[in-house]
Structure 1
């Protein structure tokens, strides 16, 4: 028979124990709220207001009407009026714009003559999900963009055919294969999950077993302990990266267009930063369970806010601001830019600078926190 008195006593004991473990209690309360907010507000499969560069060789009335119609569709926001093809290409390589619109010099003349006028739209398809909705919206552009301009005698030119056509070009991923975007992105997610959790759990395990006290009794300095602990995991991270890249090429035929120096620098910075973060978590967690909980609380936003699963520019401004603070976001830009675009150090410097800040800040906090533990 079930004794309700003894059962209640056990329940009361567990409730008291739960409230004493503040980290677990906070995770139970905060995790559903964070998931609800992220999935409810930040996730968007149909991104709009995508940054667009325009190279208008013909800057006449018809050209301006086309650009204005694209902006009115809410999918395109013109953030750069390029002066040359090279400037437009560089903006796309750096990831500053998602689209490049080129209006040729004879556009207005061809529209007036009804002579197959063309607007070229180049899309950064390194993340196909970010461009599919906007490219679909372009199908209706020729019919309505010049409706107010082609009046009177111009209304009958072209025998009722659309005044111009839109030619789209998917750059960096012409076939818009999702694996070309997802598989390189997995490199950042897998390294985050394994290195952060592995390091934090290893250090927390030493504290639980009492071996940390023996290490604290030695004259080893905090920086020496940190470097000595993390160095073997750097090798592990590099081996993981090599395996993932090899499988990406052999199994999924992910193109690798160069940019190896930028990739190597970004990979090393991200591995060191992830390990330093795991070390910092281990100084805050008292048990392996707490270390795992804190690591998971970092990994979840890294997956949702980095642009790995959902288009980064499809998120609201506040979510993009939070995503910018996530190191995985910048690492994914380096990986995709290097493999799919062949981006070198000069065009990847923005993301690499963010990773350098991440390493310096987290590494410094880990050392300071370890000193506090020593005291």
Structure 2
């Protein structure tokens, strides 16, 4: 007769169930304590999100960099510039001497606004001829300029209240005695596709390149195939370059796919050099591959590698100017953003595609991205050698 298996009485009932629950609970806490990367990620990712969304994100940017071409030095010019400053939206940093210099500053992204005051502005205003001021706005990111433009239109009627007295007092009535002509360059209708789609290329490339390469070395170690690589007569740098090269080709394919979709589906132009865009995008891909490869040498398993990738990706997407205006963030957030590769790549891709900028206009973001790539590659090589040792 086959004996019937029965569980001891101690395994039944609510007390036993509670003990089993507590045992599993303690076991999970012990395992979580040993997996410090996961524990840190759970705590700090939520903390970073709270700080970034609470302090760094601002959809109403102030103190926007502004350049002035003042060909008239009358009291009306000084009053208008003072009225611009009082709005809080304009930080007049540059005084230029020619229209070409003003255009270069706008094209390179050094300033957000440019103001041109004609040479006979004061004289025409006193005569009642209603002269015009030209305000140029870099509208590649419409959300960064819309409130500033609204404030500029709001000061038109009261900018010269203290100056129009005596014989010219009648000019202080509505409408204003002058005209503000606003020229929204590079995106005159405020189409969000022109801003979002080029930025998506940086976002997609960052996410995919980071995650794929972050798993490369960790996967080899978990599958016990790293020993086979080490047994071969090959140098660490050659192993790293060989593992990164396929992802460069994958990134190139993604780049072509996104550019084709941007042109065919969303009517996003490529005003500048396509060859320059492809070359600098390749540099951006290599930078992210180097970061991901460094994570793969630090992580103990594939889960940790993915967690590290998202921990790096989150500030890139929030502090680069992709989702929120870069100039609207506080100084400390902008300092962090300047150290991230996606910040400089967004300036490059928007500058080439929307503005037609060349290498001379993009010298600062290209230099910053190149420096980041060199540092990331050096760290990746050093970490990989330590991993092999």
TM-score with structure 1 setting the length: 0.98
1:159: Cα distance to partner?
5.9
Whether the aligned pair in 1 keeps the contact of 2:164 and 2:172 (CA below 8 Å) is: no
Deviations 1:128-185 (A, max 9, x none): 1100110111121211111111111111137643121211010011111011000000
Contact 1:334 1:348 survives alignment (8 Å): yes
Partner residue of 1:295 out of 298, 305, 309: 309
For 2:216 and 2:70, the matched residues in 1 are separated by 58
Match of 1:204 among 218, 224, 241: 218
Partner of 2:120: 106
Q: 2:104 corresponds to which residue?
A: 90
Query: 1:374 deviation in Å?
Result: 1.4
Runs of 4+ in 1 over 4 A off after TM superposition: none
CA distance in 2 between counterparts of 1:72 and 1:230 reads 52
- Aligned-partner Cα distance in 2 for 1:81–1:335: 28
Higher helix share: 1
Q: Does 1:340 align with 2:330?
A: no
Instruction: Select 2:32's aligned residue among 10, 13, 18.
Output: 18
**Residue pair 1:262, 1:348 contacting (<8 A) in 2 also:** no
Deviations 1:196-224 (A, max 9, x none): 10111232211111111221222211110
Cα distance between partner residues in 2 of 1:158 and 1:133: 25
Could you tell me how far apart the structure 2 residues matched to 1:15 and 1:160 are? 72
In structure 1, distance between residues paired with 2:274 and 2:71: 35
Decide which structure has the larger Cα Rg and report it.
2
Q: Does 2:189 correspond to 1:144?
A: no
Matched, 1:68 2:68: no
Partner of 1:244: 258
Is 1:127 aligned to 2:130, yes or no?
no
Say whether the 8 Å CA contact 2:216–2:293 is kept in structure 1. Answer: no
Query: 1:57: which partner in 2?
Result: 71
Of 258, 270, 287, which residue of structure 2 is paired with 1:273?
A: 287
Match of 2:376 among 359, 362, 369: 362
Q: 3-state DSSP class of the match of 1:142?
A: coil
- When the two structures are superposed, what TM-score results if normalisation uses the length of structure 2? 0.94
Q: How far apart are the structure 2 equivalents of 1:166 and 1:262?
A: 37
Aligned equivalents of 1:185, 1:64: Cα separation in 2: 38
Specify every segment of 5 or more residues in structure 2 that has no aligned partner in the other structure, as ranges. 1-12
> Counterparts of 2:278 and 2:73 in 1: how far apart (Å)?
43
CA deviations 1:255-312 (Å, max 9, x no partner) are 2112334312311110111111111110000100000000000111010000000000
Tell me, yes or no, if structure 1 residue 305 matches structure 2 residue 319: yes
Using the alignment, how far apart are the partners of 2:241 and 2:41 within structure 1?
30
Contact 1:113 1:158 in 2 (8 A): no
Q: Which runs of 5+ in 1 are unaligned?
A: none
2: distance between equivalents of 1:4 and 1:288? 33
Give the direction of change, closer, same or farther, for the CA distance of 1:304–1:116 in structure 2 (3 Å limit): same
Which of 232, 249, 272 aligns to 1:235? It is 249
Checking the alignment, whether the CA contact within 8 Å between 1:125 and 1:176 is kept in structure 2 is yes
Q: 2 CA distance for matches of 1:274 and 1:35?
A: 22
In structure 2, the residue matched to 1:353 is 367
Per the alignment, in what secondary structure is the counterpart of residue 281 of structure 1? Answer: helix
> Contact conserved, 1:146 with 1:163, CA < 8 A, in 2?
no
Paired with 1:167 and 1:273, the residues of 2 have a C-alpha distance of 42
How many residue pairs get matched?
375
Q: Please state whether the residue corresponding to 1:241 is helix, strand or coil.
A: helix
